[in-house]
Amino acid sequence: MTFRSSTAAPQRAATTQRIDVARELLLTPFGLDESHLARALAEIRAHQVDDADLYFQYTRSEGWSLEEGIVKTGSFSIDQGVGVRAVSGEKTAFAYSDDISLASLLDAARTVRAISSVAQTGRVRVPAKKIATSRSLYQGVDPIASLDSTAKVALLERLEQRARAKDPRVAQVMAGLASEYDVVLVARADGTLAADVRPLVRLSITVIAEQNGRREVGSAGGGGRFGLAYFDDAQLSKYVDEAVNAALTNLESRPAPAGEMTVVLGAGWPGILLHEAVGHGLEGDFNRKGSSAFSGRIGQRVAAKGVTVLDDGTIADRRGSLNVDDEGNPSQRNVLIEDGILKGYIQDSLNARLMGVAPTGNGRRESYAHIPMPRMTNTYMLGGDKDPQEIIASIKKGLYASNFGGGQVDITSGKFVFSASEAYWVEDGKIQYPVKGATIVGSGPESLKKVTMIGNDMRLDSGVGTCGKEGQSVPVGVGQPTLRIEGLTVGGTA
C-alpha cells in the first residue's frame, strides 16, 4: 500500500491553478502557447549554453498617500513584459521587451544565444515538459480589487484621525497604502514550467509630534501577501500606538553618548542589522567570487554559540516569502549558520551550478527587465533562553536600541553603519532616558562572535522591508530576538 501526503493533491491543484492564471494573462491574449515557448528556448539551445529561461510578468500596482487629511497622491500602473536569458559559464546574456509576441521572443532568443559562438551538433532535443514543484504559502488574491477607492481613502483617514486623537502634541500625520498584484510565468530550457500569483500590500504611518518648539518623528506600519482586509481596526490602532509613542519618546530624547560599549538590540525589525551585516555576505555570488568576508568558511565558527541564522522563504503570508523563486525553483528554509557554525550560502541557479551545489530557492529579480541573482527572502536569527528584561538588566552601562532606521554594509569587509531611530541609555540595569542620534558601527562577522545573550522573544518584522542590491529592489522580511552584543562602537551626538 502506498501512502501519500494529504497536502500533495491540494498543492498540485494550486500549482496548476497558478499556471492557468499566468497562461490566461501572459500567453493567450498574445496568441502564444507553450509550444511557442519551447520554440524560443530551442532557438537559444541551438548554441551550446549551460542554461536558458523565459520570464513573463504582469504587474498591477496602486498607491495612495494622505497628508493633512488630503489625498496627496494616487497612482495606478500596469506593466507587463518578458525577459529572455542565456547562460554560458559565468556569462549571462539578457534581453527583455514589453512587447509580448512570438516575433519578440524569437528575436530576443537569437540575440542572447550569441553568448556562445559554438553551435549544437545534431538535432536539438526538446525536453519533456515538467511542472515545477511549488508551495502554497498565500492566496492568489488581487488586493487592489479587495476594496474600492473610497474605502481605501477612508482607511487612511481613519488612521490619521486616530493618530491625532491619541495625543494633542501630534502636529502632522502622513499615511500611505500600497497594493500590488504580480503574476509570473517561468519557462526553463530543461522543460520546467512554473508560475506564481503574488499579492502584496503595505500600510504605513508617519507622525510628527511637537512640544516646546521641538519636533520629532515616529513611524510604523506593516503588510504582507494578502488582501486589504488585514488592516482592521485592531491593526490600525496598533500602528497608531507604535508611531505616536515613538514620536513622543523622541521628544524626551537626549544626545546619545559615543564610544565602544555594550549594545542590546530589540526583537523584530532590528534584524535589519543582521540582514545587512551578515545576510548579504552569505549570498552565493559574493562567495563564489571570494569577495565576501564569509568566503571559503563553510564548516568554520563564524559566530558565538547559540547563534543560528536562517533564510526562509516558506513562511505563510510573509512579505519575503515565495511559492517559487524567479527561476521556477521552490522556496526553501535554509539554515545558514547553526550554533555559530557556517553551514551554507543562499543560491540562485547560476552560482549554485558554478559552486557545485543545489539552488536554494533564492533566485530573485525586480522585474522581467532584470536578471536574477541570489537574494534573501525572510532572514532571521532563532531565539535563545534569556528573558528580554534579564538582558537589559545585565547592562552596567550601554545602549538599548529598540528600532532602526537606515544602514549600509561593505560586503568585502563586513563593516556596517546603522542609525537607531529609537534607543535608550541604560545604567545599572535600568533604562535611564531615550537618546537621539545613535549610530552603531561594527563588523558583521565580528559582531556575531560578540553575542553574549540571546532572548527568548524571536519576532519577525511587521512586513515593511525592501532590499536593494545592484540597482534591484525586492520585498524581504527580517527578524531576531533581543540580543546583547559586546564592544560595538556607538557614534553619538554627545
**For residue range 399-440, what is the model confidence (pLDDT) as tens digits?**
999 998 877 788 778 888 888 999 999 999 999 999 998 999
Burial of 13 by CB count in 10 Å (0-12 exposed, 13-18 middle, 19+ buried)?
exposed
**For residue range 197-213, what is the model confidence (pLDDT) as tens digits?**
999 999 999 999 999 99
Interatomic CA distance for residues 411 and 361, integer angstroms = 22
Interatomic CA distance for residues 388 and 393, integer angstroms = 9
Contact 162, 235 (CB under 8 A): no
Contact 467, 313 (CB under 8 A): no
Q: How high is the pLDDT of residue 9?
A: 67
Fold of 12-252: PmbA/TldD fold (3.30.2290)
Alpha helices in 167-207 (DSSP H): none
Residue 49 confidence (pLDDT) above 90: yes
Burial of 173 by CB count in 10 Å (0-12 exposed, 13-18 middle, 19+ buried)?
buried
Q: What share of the chain in percent tops pLDDT 90?
A: 86
Domain with CATH 3.30.2290.10 in the chain: 12-252
- Cell numbers 500590500: residue: 201
Q: How high is the pLDDT of residue 493?
A: 67
Average pLDDT over residues 349-368: 97
Interatomic CA distance for residues 368 and 79, integer angstroms = 10
**For residue range 287-316, what is the model confidence (pLDDT) as tens digits?**
999 999 899 999 999 999 999 999 999 999
**For residue range 169-179, what is the model confidence (pLDDT) as tens digits?**
999 999 999 99
Number of alpha carbons in the 13 Å side-chain half-sphere of residue 332: 16
Contact 304, 371 (CB under 8 A): no
Return mean pLDDT, the chain.
94
Q: How confident is the model at residue 8 (pLDDT cuts 50, 70, 90)?
A: low
Residues, the chain: 494
Contact 228, 155 (CB under 8 A): yes
Residue 124 confidence (pLDDT) above 80: no
Contact 402, 270 (CB under 8 A): yes
Determine how many CB atoms are found less than 10 A away from the CB of residue 236. 20
The DSSP element (H or E) to which 423 belongs, if any, is: strand 415-427
4: CB partners within 8 A, 6+ apart: none
Of the listed ranges 60-64, 158-162, 271-275, the one predicted with least confidence: 271-275
377: CB partners within 8 A, 6+ apart: 311, 312, 313, 320, 321, 322, 331, 361, 362, 364, 476, 477
Report the Cα 446 to chain-centroid distance in Å. 24
Q: How confident is the model at residue 7 (pLDDT cuts 50, 70, 90)?
A: low
Alpha helices in 295-348 (DSSP H): none
Query: For the chain, how far is it from start to end, CA to CA, in angstroms?
Result: 73
**For residue range 233-261, what is the model confidence (pLDDT) as tens digits?**
999 999 999 999 999 999 999 999 999 99
Q: How high is the pLDDT of residue 198?
A: 98
Q: How confident is the model at residue 4 (pLDDT cuts 50, 70, 90)?
A: very low
